[in-house]
Amino acid sequence: MRMSAYSLLAVSLFLLFWFTPVRTAAQQAQPETLVIEGGTLIDGNGGTPVRDAVIIIRGNRIETVSRKGEVSYPAGARVLQADGKFITPGLMDSHVHYSGWMPELQLNHGVTSIFSIGSGGEWALAQRKAIEHGKIPGPRIFLAVGSMAGARISAVSSRSGTEGGLSGRQVTDTAAKAREITRRFIDAGADMIKVHRGPPAEVYRAAVEEAHQAGLPVVAQPIGPTVYAREAVLAGADILEHAAGISYSIAKDPSQWEGWGSIEQHSIDPSPYADMDDAKAEELIRLMVDRNVYLEPDFIAMGRGFQKERLKFELQDFRLFSKHALSYYPERSRLKILGTYREFDHLTPDEWERRNKGYQNMARFIRMFADAGGKVVTGTDTAGWAVPGLGLHHELEILVEEVGFTPMEALVAATRNPAEGFRVIDRLGTIEAGKLADLVIVNADPLQDIANMQKIEWVVKDGKVIERTYHPWFQNILPRGGVASRPWVAALKRQNIQRDPSWAFGQPPPGIEGVSPTMVTEGDPTLTLTVRGVNFTLKSLVFYNDRPVPTQRVSDTELQVTIDASLIERVGTYYITVKNPEPVQRPEWGGGTSNRASLMVDFRY
């Protein structure tokens, strides 16, 4: 039976309207293609640079690495003309304590990956995921999630974490507990395991066994009281941050450094290197090279004013901070970083000379280590001691000008070596087909002058060209929360223990030690929040971002709070306080208002 003309027309129109949107959607689904044409490729492997390179990037992966005239370009590709420029892998900072205000600074300086060594817990995990999904801009984050520390050290530290939690330093002096903590971090999504100062050797060994079974590296800061560099290496640690514990392990007379590592400042004090025994140094280097241990020296943090280019670095930091568009940079961090350049100016001549000699010998040790085949990775310990992003460029210059690296060695230390040491070399660290597309294109040859790495034309992260500018309105949509003023709460508890009779009448000052849960997901239903602390009464009232919410007292140390679903519809960090009404006894302890905790509302994916 023949189809009528009208029927044929109807079928044709149906097919047209049916298939056209499908074809358009398919076209839109094709990943964007970027071509970098021309330029000299320094691929991160340390070999001879390749002139007239062509790099084809499809989506977030490098598809082809070739040369001009040897490959055709995909239709519709965006082409970056890189003739006369130099192409390197994205830079990596191997020692970062990440904060939500860092993204622009890191990316604008070509730092496309960071290794967040310290704790961060659920907030850091949420940041990593949000960046991966494009919800928040930022460098690629690899996380330790939390860390382990010895009980004796943690007893005097305000950074100790909650038992069974993720944030802070989890306290352990036993192998069994170390295994439990390590598994907890791995289950949470850790990219590495961090062992801080204090634990005995069996803790290191247990953490190493668990981490290596999961394919993760162990980053260590072994500065006593029983485990230093040598012991940590024998226990299987993969990376020594700050090149920690080495100075003690190679000292001519360790007895004069008794108690080294008992305070936090020792982790960035090079003084024991002044007592360096070259024979011990050579023996330790052989051990580390044999065990494939990576060293992250943190010269920008260890030197703090001893660097040859101190005035140049200080001026660069100052000029960057002077930008109005960076007004969001925390003032406290700004002043701290600028102050590091003059931190040792108050020392006596003898103290200054000893510390300076230690710094110089540390540089000499790192050169000896590299000459013996050891692998160095770049790190800055930002935001404590360096400007995020810019500080890594200073670290590169120190490696070249003071340690004696070639510019190529320095670039490998900032690209391939970190990727290899942190076990992500299959994805990053070099410019090769199949790897993630993180690159930096600069306008002058960094192999002639490593400072040319600051002459950036383009930064490509995850296959996308980054807009290299600063925005005064920049704000992380999910700022870091937590519990503020923990030492204040501890002091408040001590007052309670003393049973001060002046608190017998009126309302006592409340304090928050923690809340549970600490994170929910946007669009979750109404929840019950538990607030733990001290001095909660029948009249205590919880405020959620300064808005009172239904509160029920369970005990003087616990409140149950109802958070309506309408209050957790949007992503953000919301602040929790407890208020006790007048009359308040001892108003100097907060005037009846507690310290601040937070509830984070994460993205729903």
Asked whether the beta carbons of 54 and 37 are under 8 A apart, the reply is yes
Query: What average pLDDT does the segment 146-155 reach?
Result: 76
**pLDDT, position 12:** 46
**Rounded CA gap, 409 and 397, in Å?**
11
Q: Which helix (H) or strand (E) holds 294?
A: strand 294-296
Band (pLDDT 50/70/90 cuts) for residue 163 is low
Q: Is 78 helix (H, G, I), strand (E, B) or coil?
A: strand
User: Residue 259 — pLDDT band, cuts 50, 70, 90?
Assistant: confident
Amino acid (1-letter code) at residue 337: I
Which tens digit of pLDDT belongs to each residue from 197-253? 999 999 999 999 999 999 999 999 999 999 999 999 999 999 999 999 999 999 999
pLDDT score, position 586:
86
Contacts of 494 (CB under 8 A, 6+ apart): none
DSSP E strand stretches across 8-119: 33-37, 40-41, 53-58, 61-67, 78-81, 86-89, 91-96, 111-116
- Please check whether residue 131 is in contact with residue 140, taking contact to mean a CB–CB distance below 8 angstroms: yes
pLDDT at 162: 60
What is the per-residue pLDDT for 446?
Answer: 98
415-466 pLDDT, tens digit per residue, is: 999 999 999 999 999 999 999 999 999 999 999 999 999 999 999 999 999 9
Q: What is the pLDDT of residue 1?
A: 40
Q: Are 35 and 73 in contact (CB under 8 A)?
A: yes
pLDDT in tens, 305-336: 899 999 999 999 999 999 999 999 999 999 99
φ and ψ at residue 95, rounded to 5 degrees: -150, 95
Beta bridge partners of 507: 584
Of 97-101, 119-123, 528-532, the one with minimum mean pLDDT is: 119-123
Cross-strand partners of 599: 574
pLDDT at 261: 87
Average pLDDT over every residue of 374-379: 98
Please work out, in degrees rounded to the nearest 5, the angle formed at the alpha carbon of residue 535 by the alpha carbons of 534 and 536: 100
Comparing CA positions, the residue from 467, 452, 462, 466 lying closest to residue 42 is: 452
Identify which of 7, 67, 1 has the alpha carbon closest to the alpha carbon of residue 35: 67
Question: Strand 91-96 and strand 140-143: pairing?
Answer: unpaired
Cite the beta strand spans of 150-211 per DSSP E: 169-171, 193-195
Other Cβ atoms within 10 Å of 404 Cβ, number = 14
- Tell me how crowded residue 185 is: count the other CB atoms within 10 A of its CB: 28
Strand-pair partners of 54: 37, 66
Angle between helical axes of 310-321 and 390-398 (0-180°, round to 10) = 170
Predicted confidence (pLDDT) per residue in 74-96, tens digit: 999 999 999 999 999 999 999 99
Give residue-wise pLDDT tens across range 1-21: 444 444 444 434 333 433 334
Q: Name the 3-class secondary structure at 283.
A: helix
With contact defined as beta carbons under 8 Å apart, do 270 and 246 qualify? Answer: no
User: Helices in 291-389 by DSSP H: which ranges?
Assistant: 299-303, 310-321, 331-340, 349-371
150, 214, 234, 307 from 202: Cα distances, Å: 11, 19, 11, 38
C-alpha 272/C-alpha 275 separation (Å) is 6
pLDDT, the chain, mean: 91
Could you give the CA distance from residue 246 to residue 272 in angstroms, rounded to a whole number? 9
Instruction: List Cβ neighbours of 231 (8 Å cut-off, separation of 6 or more).
Output: 201, 204, 222, 245
The whole-model pTM stands at 0.91
How are beta strands 140-143 and 111-116 bridged, if at all?
Answer: parallel
DSSP H helices in 482-584 = 486-497
Q: Which DSSP category does 266 fall into?
A: G
Residue 229 CA to residue 223 CA, distance in Å, equals: 7
Q: Which domains does the chain have, with CATH numbers?
A: 221-377 (no CATH), 486-602 (2.60.40.10)
**pLDDT score at 566:** 97
Tally of residues, the chain: 605
Residue 165, CA atoms < 13 Å, CB-side half-sphere: 21
Condensed to tens digits (0 to 9), the pLDDT of residues 488-543 reads 999 999 887 776 666 667 899 999 999 999 999 999 999 999 999 999 999 999 99
CA–CA distance, 318 with 15 (Å, rounded to integer)? 65
| Position 265 confidence tier, pLDDT thresholds 50, 70, 90 | confident
Q: Which amino acid does the sequence have at 563? A: I
